[in-house]
């Protein structure tokens, strides 16, 4: 280690040097290989598709114009916007709140059981749950028929009518997604040293105050990460409307969300260029949102 | 290591009212937790009960009635003999693909997350940024290029065509990055360096043993994401013997009269059988969760820098 | 970056970055080149009159193994072929067969087109509009069958009009597996008990429904809760809502009197509650109305899938009558709901084996002793099938005359475009019906959606 530059006081990073840089690259090279193969090249390829036509000739923004002019585009954007707002707020507030609450439970077994129980729906993805939603959303056979009737719907087709859909999708997405994020935030909470929590208690901080002033700031990066991915997942809504579309035999259309429209462009209309254009639009939205969260949440800074 | 209410009670309290207040807030908390428990579990309980019913019973009996053991047996036998034991093959395939990808992605993601958090190298920030951007790209747009790539190297229709893309797990790299950058004190690394550990030795012998929670987390999420992935294997694996369980489930769905009226009695899958298939397909995920959960609660730095 | 970069180091960094970028670009361009594949949109060079097949086939290899895609219902057929023809090597791949509109065949074929390889030699799908995208003027993925590939004599063995669904500009691309001609199903026991005569016209059917509404409320004479409702009622009325006039041209006019009359019929019956708006295969129908079916216009496969399957009507009650006709129609016409077909790939390296397979499986009415579940499109096989399926005496009358009459009456003016008419009906009309609107009031919206979706797919749309 003799060619290492002395570590400046307070810095927690092994100081830079050519050897240090090589070492760093040695650690990330396997990931970078996979990243290039399955991340970077596909994204660049999609960008290439978005600006060219079927024969490979450049067409500028024509694909984007075609996508935006499509008669299904703006309704889909509306659907996704409403859904994302409901979804983001629901997830952010409830997941953080529930994790804090679970973290304070006394008994280890109860905690473990609750985390497990809250997670189980997360294992139910895709084809398997179509049947589940077919039954769950049908007031005549659903285990929560009283809840459905409360909203004024008497038949399955009424339950999936357009006004209710954003809330239904948000509930489904929350049901499957919350457990996983609770796990992540729980792990983050665990990294807070006990001394800090004890000190807070000694200072007389009640559970709510110590949560807001101590715990939340210390798991800030995980929360920011969650918000970034949740915003992206919200704007890229796909699975829930696809499931309910299948379960409703088409009454809920399969082009409800923007991401579904991208799929329809690619595999329904054989228009991979238009599909790539829509994907790029979604990416831009997600990146702008992420930039906002990263900047305010200081995700990339060292601690 | 959790800060819990039992420590509260052991401290001298201000008086009975404070205790009553705490008890009140505890029961409020309990009620909230139970409401959400019901929210998450009611559909799952419905699933469990439905697997024990016959198709008639499923539509005619109430949602929370239990079926009979005989019906459960019949459903199970029908499930296991579907397409000459396809379900067992599919489950085995899923285990292979998700398991192999789990190992590779852990081997790849943990060092990468550590380096991004703690090592200095040119391109660190661009790599972080690029990884995040790639993570935000809608997955539908990535399938075609990956399919073409695999086709070029002739790997389509082999397990590798699925395992390799699965092993690219930026979500896990970020989890590791966040974990190491917030919870790994630099003093430990300095101590290791002073003790004569090279960078690799530091990682392998000092950091990793302290990383069980994040390894469990990353491993678990990698397994689940790949276990539940439908579209990639759907595109890459044309032979039905190579399907993982998710693709197989969609085939079973296509044989259920509710979704495909003309399937014909010989090939038919009844809804309770489909429910049972679903339960079978989520069992490994839940098992791995239970295993991973034990490691999640171990503390990170207990004793590492004390003394 | 906090690194202490020397000039040398900085130069290296730039060089490395540039190399990486170039490498990336090369990779992407390589992908782009490989994905050239077939372009969509008019390549008449695929047609080839000098070839014995009528199209530019791939290089043929005698004895090459063929890959066959089947759904679980057709797997016995593929296995039976394997057993009966041990000299032909076939790989059987099971997939969903496009059930529930999954579009798997289309999706995968498009990917194979881009990659330039991987197509199955023969595929079964219930996606009858495959010709709309796979024809010679489309992606040319499908082989024309009536330009030399299959002798006309074999093609004539299919029922009249059976190949219409996959015929574009006179070129047929499939071998129809089964028909789904609409007949009038009815409960003979109840009809006799209540002294009703089986109607032969839609007008009589309407009158009878009125009687049922007052005399036996709760009983239904039809359902309009599934996405194929227009294929039963509007197709039979010869409503020009789905006229495919060319490979990329469609004409739609839902204001036509034929459409309006069918819509009025449905609205009236829904209003007097003799027409159910529940889906036949959802959980609620079997529970609440399964035993209240007096009449049910619908396809031939209702016999097995609905009466014996979903609602489990007791034996000896259900009968089939010839399809209803409108009194003012020039010729009797009925609709068709589904039926699958076998498609041969134009890229197949062993067309001989592929055609042998497709021809053989469509000519059988039973495999390994088990009857196929639906009415075969091959006339001879159909006759055998009808006889055999009545052996157990489930039906209350001889269904053969009704089935045969209906098979010849399917109106040819309802086409199979690239977009899904069923999906459009579900998301526009059914969604509107749920909100309480009448079908007649939804006709303009239906037309608008058809026009929009067709245009999005590159069709020229003619509306009045």
Looking at residue B145, its pLDDT comes to 94
pLDDT tens for residues C43-80? 444 677 778 888 888 889 988 999 999 998 999 999 99
Chain C residues 318-337 with CB within 8 Å of chain B = none
Please say if the pLDDT value at position B301 is more than 50: no
Residue B116's SS3 state is helix
Q: Which CATH number is C361's domain given?
A: 3.40.190.10
From residue A122, how far is each of A115, A134, B162, B227 by CA, in Å? Answer: 11, 18, 22, 12
Q: Which residues does residue C250 pair with via DSSP β-bridges, in sequence order?
A: C244, C461
Q: Are residues B153 and B24 in the same domain?
A: no
Residue B41 has, within 13 A of its CA and on its CB side, a CA count of 12
Q: What is the least distance, in Å, from the CA of B34 to any CA of chain C? A: 30
Task: List b or e across A245-275, with b for residues whose CB sees 16 or more CB atoms inside 10 angstroms.
Answer: bbbbbbbbbbbbbbbbbbbbbbbbbbbbbbb
- Comparing CB atoms, the residue among C75, C118, C281 nearest residue B258 is C281
Residue partners of A113: CB distance under 8 A and separation at least 6: none
Q: Are residues B33 and B130 in the same domain?
A: no
Using a CB-CB cut-off of 8 Å, the residues of chain B touching A129 are: 278
Looking at residue A300, its pLDDT comes to 72
Q: 3-state secondary structure string, chain A?
A: CCCCCCCCCCCCCCCCCHHHHHHHHHHHHHHHHHHHHHHHHHHHHHHHHHCECCCCCECCCHHHHHHHHCCCHHHHHHHHHHHHHHHHHHHHHHHHHHHHHHHCCCCHHHHHHHHHHHHHHHHCCCCHHHHHHHHHCCCCCCCCHHHHHHCCCCCHHHHCCCCCHHHHHHHHHHHHHHHHHHHHHHHHHHCCCHHHHHHHHHCCCCHHHHHHHHHHHHCHHHHHHHHHHHHHHHHCCCHHHHHHHHHCCCCCCCCCCHHHHHHHHHHHCCCHHHHHHHHHHHHHHHHHHHHHHHHHHCCCCCC
What's the pLDDT band for A28 if we cut at 50, 70, 90?
Answer: very high
- Comparing CB atoms, the residue among A48, A55, A71 nearest residue C28 is A48
Residue partners of A299: CB distance under 8 A and separation at least 6: A221, A224, A225, A228, A293
Looking at residue C91, its pLDDT comes to 93
Please say if the pLDDT value at position A181 is more than 90: yes
From residue A184, how far is each of A99, B169, B204, B217, C91 by CA, in Å? Answer: 9, 16, 24, 7, 45
Question: Is A227 domain-assigned?
Answer: yes
Q: Are residues C174 and C101 in the same domain?
A: yes
Q: Are residues C83 and C150 in the same domain?
A: yes
Q: Are residues B35 and B168 in the same domain?
A: no
Question: Is A47 domain-assigned?
Answer: no
The total domain count for chain A is 1
Q: Are residues C312 and C344 in the same domain?
A: no
Q: Are residues C331 and C436 in the same domain?
A: yes
Question: Is B302 domain-assigned?
Answer: no
Q: Are residues B10 and B148 in the same domain?
A: no
Range of the structural domain that residue B268 is part of: 81-296
Q: Are residues C417 and C300 in the same domain?
A: yes
Range from A77-86, A267-276, C57-66 that averages highest in pLDDT: A77-86
Q: Which of B63, B161, B260, B277 to mutate to test the interface with C (most CBs of C within 10 A)?
A: B260
Tell me the ipTM for this assembly: 0.85
Looking at residue C27, its pLDDT comes to 57
Question: Is A57 domain-assigned?
Answer: no
Q: Which CATH number is B204's domain given?
A: 1.10.3720.10
Task: Answer yes or no: do A48 and C9 touch at CB < 8 A.
Answer: no
Question: Is B67 domain-assigned?
Answer: no
Task: Answer yes or no: do A40 and B130 touch at CB < 8 A.
Answer: yes
Question: Is C16 domain-assigned?
Answer: no
Question: Is B271 domain-assigned?
Answer: yes
Q: What is the least distance, in Å, from the CA of B283 to any CA of chain C? A: 24
Among the three residues C377, C406, C441, which one is the final residue of a domain in this structure? C377
Question: Is B63 domain-assigned?
Answer: no
Q: What is the least distance, in Å, from the CA of A168 to any CA of chain C? A: 16
Neighbours of A109 (CB within 10 A): 8
Q: For the residues of C347-397, what is the DSSP string, one character each? A: T-S-HHHHHHHHHHHHT-SEETTEEPSS-BSBHHHHHHHHHHHTTT--SSS
Task: Answer yes or no: do A134 and C103 touch at CB < 8 A.
Answer: no
Angle among Cα C379, C380, C382 to the nearest 5 degrees reads 65
Question: Is C387 domain-assigned?
Answer: no
What's the pLDDT band for B243 if we cut at 50, 70, 90?
Answer: very high
Looking at residue B298, its pLDDT comes to 58
- Which residue is it, tokens 């006081």? A9
Question: Is A291 domain-assigned?
Answer: yes
Tell the burial category of B306 from Cβ atoms under 10 Å away from its Cβ (0-12, 13-18, 19+).
exposed
Range of the structural domain that residue A150 is part of: 67-297
The total domain count for chain B is 2
Please tell me if residue C129 touches chain A, with a CB cutoff of 8 Å: no
Q: What is the least distance, in Å, from the CA of B30 to any CA of chain C? A: 36
Question: Is A32 domain-assigned?
Answer: no
What pLDDT tens digit does each residue of chain C (464 aa) get? 333 333 344 444 555 555 555 556 555 655 655 444 333 333 444 677 778 888 888 889 988 999 999 998 999 999 999 999 999 999 999 888 888 778 899 999 988 998 888 899 999 999 888 998 888 888 889 999 999 899 999 999 999 889 988 998 889 999 999 999 999 999 999 999 999 999 999 999 999 999 999 999 999 999 999 999 999 999 999 999 999 988 889 999 999 999 999 999 999 999 999 999 999 988 889 888 999 999 999 999 999 999 998 899 999 999 999 999 999 888 899 999 988 999 999 999 999 999 999 999 999 999 988 889 999 999 999 999 999 999 989 999 999 999 999 999 999 999 999 888 999 999 999 999 999 999 999 999 999 999 999 999 889 999 88
Q: Are residues B143 and B258 in the same domain?
A: yes
Q: Are residues B45 and B133 in the same domain?
A: no
Task: Answer yes or no: do A249 and C434 touch at CB < 8 A.
Answer: no
Closest C-alpha among B38, B130, B113, B89 to residue B240: B89
pLDDT tens for residues B30-57? 899 999 999 999 999 999 999 899 888 8
Please say if the pLDDT value at position B8 is more than 80: no
Using a CB-CB cut-off of 8 Å, the residues of chain C touching B251 are: 72, 94-96
Residue C121's SS3 state is coil
Please say if the pLDDT value at position A237 is more than 90: yes
Using a CB-CB cut-off of 8 Å, the residues of chain A touching C31 are: 41, 45
Range of the structural domain that residue C165 is part of: 45-179+338-377
Looking at residue B156, its pLDDT comes to 87
Q: Which CATH number is A206's domain given?
A: 1.10.3720.10
Looking at residue C46, its pLDDT comes to 65
Looking at residue C428, its pLDDT comes to 95
Please tell me if residue B179 touches chain A, with a CB cutoff of 8 Å: yes
Q: Are residues B160 and B32 in the same domain?
A: no
Please say if the pLDDT value at position B5 is more than 80: no
Chain C: residue whose CA lies nearest to A140: C284
Q: Are residues B44 and B85 in the same domain?
A: no
For residue B232, what are its two tokens?
Answer: 């990639």
Q: Are residues C211 and C248 in the same domain?
A: yes
Q: Are residues C404 and C447 in the same domain?
A: yes
Question: Is A40 domain-assigned?
Answer: no
Q: Are residues C343 and C318 in the same domain?
A: no
Using a CB-CB cut-off of 8 Å, the residues of chain C touching B263 are: 71-73, 99, 305, 373
The total domain count for chain C is 2
Please tell me if residue A138 touches chain C, with a CB cutoff of 8 Å: yes
Question: Is A1 domain-assigned?
Answer: no
Q: Are residues C406 and C353 in the same domain?
A: no
Cα–Cα distance between A10 and B30 in angstroms, integer?
43
Please tell me if residue B44 touches chain A, with a CB cutoff of 8 Å: yes
Cα–Cα distance between A68 and A76 in angstroms, integer?
11
Q: Are residues C220 and C311 in the same domain?
A: yes
- Which residue is it, tokens 């010989």? B266
Q: Are residues B90 and B230 in the same domain?
A: yes
Question: Is C27 domain-assigned?
Answer: no
Looking at residue B27, its pLDDT comes to 84
Q: Are residues B213 and B163 in the same domain?
A: yes
Cα–Cα distance between B25 and A302 in angstroms, integer?
37
Q: Which of B249, B264, B268 to mutate to test the interface with C (most CBs of C within 10 A)?
A: B264
């Amino acid at each position: 280690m003799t060619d290492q530059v002395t570590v400046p006081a307070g810095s927690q990073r092994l100081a830079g040097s050519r050897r240090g840089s090589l070492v760093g690259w040695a650690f990330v090279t396997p990931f970078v290989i996979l990243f290039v193969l399955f991340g970077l090249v596909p994204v660049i390829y999609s960008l290439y598709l978005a600006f060219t036509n079927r024969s490979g000739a450049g067409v500028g923004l024509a694909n984007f114009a075609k996508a935006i002019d499509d008669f299904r585009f703006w309704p889909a954007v509306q659907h996704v916007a409403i859904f994302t707002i409901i979804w983001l707020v629901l997830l952010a507030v409830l997941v953080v709140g529930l994790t804090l609450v679970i973290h304070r439970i006394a008994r280890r077994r109860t905690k473990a059981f609750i985390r497990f129980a809250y997670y189980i729906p997360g294992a139910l993805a895709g084809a398997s749950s179509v049947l589940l939603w077919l039954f769950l959303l049908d007031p005549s056979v659903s285990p929560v028929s009283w809840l459905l009737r409360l909203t004024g719907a008497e038949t399955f087709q009424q339950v999936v009518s357009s006004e209710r859909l954003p809330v239904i999708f948000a509930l489904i997405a929350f049901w499957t997604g919350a457990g996983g994020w609770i796990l992540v935030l729980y792990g983050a909470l665990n990294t807070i040293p006990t001394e800090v929590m004890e000190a807070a208690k000694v200072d007389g901080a009640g559970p709510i105050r110590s949560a807001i002033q101590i715990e939340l700031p210390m798991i800030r990066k995980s929360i920011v990460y969650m918000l970034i991915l949740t915003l992206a997942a919200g704007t890229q809504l796909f699975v829930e409307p696809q499931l309910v579309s299948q379960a409703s035999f088409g009454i809920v259309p399969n082009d409800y969300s923007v991401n579904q429209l991208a799929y329809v462009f690619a595999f329904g209309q054989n228009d991979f260029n238009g599909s790539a254009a829509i994907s790029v639009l979604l990416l831009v939205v997600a990146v702008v949102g992420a930039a906002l969260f990263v900047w305010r949440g200081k995700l990339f800074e060292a601690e | 290591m959790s800060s819990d209410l039992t420590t509260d009670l052991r401290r001298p309290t201000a008086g009975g009212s404070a205790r009553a207040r705490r008890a009140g807030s505890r029961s409020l908390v309990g009620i909230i937790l139970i409401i959400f428990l019901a929210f998450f579990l009611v559909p799952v309980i419905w699933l469990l009960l439905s697997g024990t019913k016959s198709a008639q019973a499923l539509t005619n009996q109430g949602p929370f009635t239990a079926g009979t053991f005989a019906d459960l047996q019949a459903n199970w036998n029908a499930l296991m003999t579907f397409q000459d034991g396809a379900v067992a093959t599919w489950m085995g395939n899923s285990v292979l693909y998700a398991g192999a990808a789990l190992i590779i992605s852990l081997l790849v993601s943990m060092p990468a997350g550590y380096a991004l958090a703690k090592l200095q190298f040119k391109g660190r920030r661009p790599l972080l940024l690029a990884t995040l951007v790639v993570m935000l790209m809608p997955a539908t747009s990535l399938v075609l290029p990956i399919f073409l790539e695999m086709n070029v190297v002739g790997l389509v229709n082999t397990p590798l065509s699925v395992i390799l893309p699965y092993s690219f797990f930026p979500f896990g790299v970020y989890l590791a990055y966040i974990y190491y950058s917030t919870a790994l004190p630099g003093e430990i690394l300095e101590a290791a360096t002073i003790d004569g550990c090279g960078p690799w030795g530091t990682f392998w012998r000092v950091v990793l043993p302290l990383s069980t929670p994040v390894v469990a987390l990353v491993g678990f999420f990698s397994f689940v994401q790949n276990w539940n992935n439908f579209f990639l294997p759907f595109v890459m694996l044309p032979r039905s013997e190579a399907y993982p369980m998710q693709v197989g489930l969609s085939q079973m769905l296509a044989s259920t009269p509710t979704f495909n009226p003309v399937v014909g009695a010989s090939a038919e899958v009844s809804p309770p059988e489909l429910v049972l298939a679903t339960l079978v397909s989520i069992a490994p995920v839940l098992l791995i969760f239970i295993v991973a959960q034990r490691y999640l609660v171990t503390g990170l730095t207990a004793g590492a820098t004390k003394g | 970056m906090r690194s202490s970069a020397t000039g040398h180091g900085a130069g290296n960094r730039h060089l490395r970055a540039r190399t990486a970028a170039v490498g990336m670009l090369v990779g992407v361009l390589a992908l782009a080149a490989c994905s050239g594949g077939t372009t969509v949109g008019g390549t008449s060079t695929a047609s080839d009159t000098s070839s014995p097949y009528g199209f530019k086939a791939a290089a043929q290899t005698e004895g090459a193994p063929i890959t066959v895609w089947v759904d679980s219902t057709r797997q016995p057929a593929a296995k039976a072929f394997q057993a009966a023809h041990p000299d032909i090597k076939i790989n059987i791949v099971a997939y969903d067969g496009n059930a529930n509109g999954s579009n798997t065949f289309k999706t995968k074929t498009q990917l194979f087109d881009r990659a330039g390889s991987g197509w199955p030699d023969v595929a079964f799908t219930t996606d009858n509009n495959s010709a709309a995208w796979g024809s010679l003027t489309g992606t040319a993925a499908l082989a024309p069958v009536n330009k030399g590939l299959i002798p006309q004599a074999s093609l004539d063995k299919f029922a009249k009009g059976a190949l219409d669904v996959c015929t574009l500009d006179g070129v047929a691309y499939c071998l129809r597996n089964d028909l789904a001609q609409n007949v009038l199903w009815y409960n003979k026991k109840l009809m006799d008990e209540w002294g009703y005569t089986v109607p032969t016209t839609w007008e009589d059917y309407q009158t009878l429904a009125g009687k049922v509404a007052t005399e036996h409320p709760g009983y239904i004479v039809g359902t309009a809760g599934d996405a194929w409702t227009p294929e039963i009622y509007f197709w039979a009325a010869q409503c020009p809502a789905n006229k495919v006039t060319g490979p990329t041209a469609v004409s739609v006019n839902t204001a036509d009197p034929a459409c309006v009359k069918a819509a009025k019929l449905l609205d009236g019956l829904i209003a007097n509650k003799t027409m159910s708006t529940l889906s036949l295969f959802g959980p609620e129908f079997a529970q609440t109305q399964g035993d209240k079916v007096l009449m049910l216009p619908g396809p031939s496969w209702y016999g097995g899938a609905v009466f014996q399957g979903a609602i489990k009507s007791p034996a000896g009650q259900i009968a089939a009558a010839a399809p209803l006709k409108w009194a003012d129609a020039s010729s009797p016409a009925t609709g068709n709901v589904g039926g699958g077909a076998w498609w041969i790939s134009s890229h197949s390296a062993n067309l001989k084996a592929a055609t042998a397979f497709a021809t053989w499986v469509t000519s059988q009415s039973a495999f390994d002793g088990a009857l196929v579940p639906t009415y075969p499109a091959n006339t001879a096989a159909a006759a055998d099938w009808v006889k055999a399926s009545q052996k157990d005496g489930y039906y209350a009358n001889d269904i053969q005359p009704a089935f045969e009459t209906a098979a010849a009456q399917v109106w040819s003016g309802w086409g199979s475009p690239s977009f899904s008419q069923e999906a459009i009906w579900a998301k526009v009309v059914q969604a509107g019906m749920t909100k309480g609107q009448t079908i007649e009031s939804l006709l303009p919206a239906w037309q608008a959606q058809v026009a929009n979706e067709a245009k999005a797919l590159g069709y020229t749309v003619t509306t009045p």
